Structure 1
């Protein structure tokens, strides 16, 4: 489906090495066709950069009126309705003073369009520099100052998000939600989750997935759902990695100038989003091997939390939930990744990696000495 005409472009893969992309790159001819729906932009002169990020295709276009960021999704991943869910959240944040990407309106003020099997959106280039342009998922902050600034920006976003009134997103692949473990019976919730995902059902047919969930994951779920019921759900970013931020040095301090990529956003909890930021930036998962060990950047962790709490201090309950939810924040998205790789991309190899490493391996690590040390470190902060 996506495996054709990839030309010389390489993409971020499941590890540290660049790989063949899942989706072909945007061509100049294609960009010209997209811009017919955006008459105020004018003609495209050239494409100056193609994104190496997985799951979609994106490029920067130089046009008669300046530079724009063009993004294309396959309709099986995002249709117009799904994109508009993200755009409404972005608009709310912008109206509340957050430095988010600026979505461009086309014909009839629409901000997303369908052409053939693709869904398109266009953004103005955000303010700031892409310090982490080449950083793959789960790579750490370059310094504690960046971690502190990222924590501040995340807290500011959560405060603005509290007044965004919208239901949870409709079912789409590759959304980072937290519905399975926000319940008293996760296995039953997974069974409900599977009812509308036939490819995932087929993949799991020969897996002892219930045994794996019960053996490795359910211990971390105990009492978590009870605590979560006491917290207010809000819309969250759910992919808070340094590479989804644009940066500047302002008076000698690292500053987040633009927040990018709300593709994984959904209604969860502020503390879930914070735990995801820890999971994305603080633990070097790509080191994980047979020894089930990887580096934890405690200095960056302290800076991230300090920056966050300088704007929005965690409640006592949120501090308790933080170390309880951390081992589980990637589980539901890992199921979605398996569904994507097996059902859409047709890569059983990547689906196996998502199951064995992302779904099970990451959670197992939290039962190892390094993982337990991290959880105990977060526990000790509660009463510090």
Structure 2
């Protein structure tokens, strides 16, 4: 069984950047995990773009295996992620258990790839073929997602691990919370040659200053700089959650995929959830102005507030940071496409449409409608 496509930057499927996981390599990898058993079949291959992953059957049961290019995720990079997952499990957040090797490791380096193996998470994978930037099926799911996100943030309040040791494909606010993001990015480029090579072809200082910083940074910086630092999920989308039921009474049964997780703040992660789920960015492909789903926005925030009440200042802060919440990750994607894959087309798309275009949208009538609505909701908050 093979998945010749993955989710792309838009609505179209694209050829996978990473080769399929093969039976022969799985047999060798599973040998390192005593609890895994012997491979019987590969049942499903994930269409997610940044790694190769599959659901498999062994003589011990069902498992989920994920394989990363070593240049993207080293064992150290994964250990940081796995430490977060273990902590959440100890705090009763529903995450899948990691299998361990005979020496107690939760990953294996094999033939230049890094592998991790998980138990199958509990729940219905209702969104497995839906990409980021597509909405929840209903407002009930939006509410439930907000509730679980607040639970995750409360569980991470005293998790004090160091930030991620990689800048590739992680979602954080490391650059935009700086007083001078352009200076910080310039210093970064000495250690990020793929990103440096791409930006060298662009008038990047002028572009970032004009599209992102001049309109939005003054207000956002003060908020992000003052927000308590917190490890966060970084990609809170419906497709990274499993569900108890498809209807509006469905709740979150499991939380998946901490690959983009890093250190930021609860407000930043909540703003990321709004950006990932509630704005129809993919409409831009067809020349249609994206719109925000305000009913689901209200439900998401209500669910969050049921666990961690949001104040007037909190909700208005979301309006200030939303136009910039994607910036660090967009630069990380450019670095990934340009430096790791030598994919200049997708790097250009990440720069023009994602980094600059998403920020520009907030100045449009539809973007301003979302910002106004957040201010209205903020005025009603305690």
Give the shorter-chain TM-score range: over 0.9
- How much does 1:259 deviate? 0.2
Equivalent residues of 2:142, 2:303 under 8 A apart: yes
Which residue in the other structure is 2:263 paired with?
A: 267
Matched, 1:57 2:59: no
Q: Distance in 2 between matches of 1:326 and 1:68?
A: 37
* Counterpart position of 2:11: 16
| Equivalent-residue separation in structure 2 for 1:152 and 1:356 (angstroms) | 34
How far apart are residue 142 of structure 1 and its match? 0.8
Cα separation, 2, equivalents of 1:224 and 1:346 = 33
1:159: Cα distance to partner? 0.4
- Residue 250 (structure 1) shift: 9.9
- The 8 Å contact of residues 292 and 365 in structure 1, kept in 2 or not, is answered as no
Q: Match of 2:128? A: 133
Range with greater deviation from structure 2 (192-201 or 243-252): 243-252
Secondary structure of the 1:226 match is helix
Other structure's SS at 2:32 match: coil
Give the structure 2 partner of residue 40 of structure 1. Answer: 35
Aligned to 1:82: 77
SS in 1 for 2:136: coil
Q: Which residue of 1 aligns with 2:274?
A: 278
Deviations 1:105-152 (A, max 9, x none): 122111011012100000000000100011012111111111010000
Say whether residues 1:199 and 2:199 are aligned partners.
no
* 1:109 has 2:104 as partner: yes
- The SS at the match of 2:222 is helix
CA distance in 2, matches of 1:370, 1:322: 16
Q: Measure, in 2, the Cα distance between the counterparts of 1:292 and 1:194.
A: 35
Task: Give the number of aligned pairs.
Answer: 379
Q: What secondary structure sits across from 2:68 in the alignment?
A: strand
Tell me, in whole angstroms, the C-alpha distance in 1 between the residues paired with 2:286 and 2:177.
Answer: 31
Give 4+ residue runs of structure 1 displaced > 4 Å after superposition: 289-292
- Return the match for 1:321 from 312, 317, 321: 317
CA 1:163 to 1:191, structure 2 compared with 1: closer, same or farther past 3 Å? same
Shift of the alpha carbon at 1:383?
1.2
Partner of 1:363: 359
CA contact (8 A) 2:139 2:248 kept: no
CA shift for structure 1 position 369: 0.8
**1:1-384 aligned within 5 A:** 9-218=4-213, 219-249=215-245, 253-289=249-285, 291=287, 293-384=289-380
* 1:214 shift after superposition: 1.2
Contact 2:132 2:237 survives alignment (8 Å)? yes
TM-score normalised over the length of structure 1: 0.96
| Counterpart Cα distance in 2 of 1:292 and 1:323 | 23
Deviation at 1:247, TM superposition (A): 0.5
For the structure 1 residues 252 and 383, does the alpha-carbon distance in structure 2 shift closer, same or farther, using more than 3 Å as the test?
Answer: closer
Aligned equivalents of 1:263, 1:65: Cα separation in 2: 26
Structure 1 spans left out of the alignment, 5+ residues: 1-5
Q: Distance in 2 between matches of 1:7 and 1:46?
A: 12
Structure 1's 49 and 289: CA in aligned 2 closer, same or farther, altered over 3 A?
Answer: closer
CA positional deviation for 1:317: 3.3
2:151 counterpart SS class: helix
TM-score by length of 2: 0.96
**Gap regions ≥5 residues in structure 2:** none
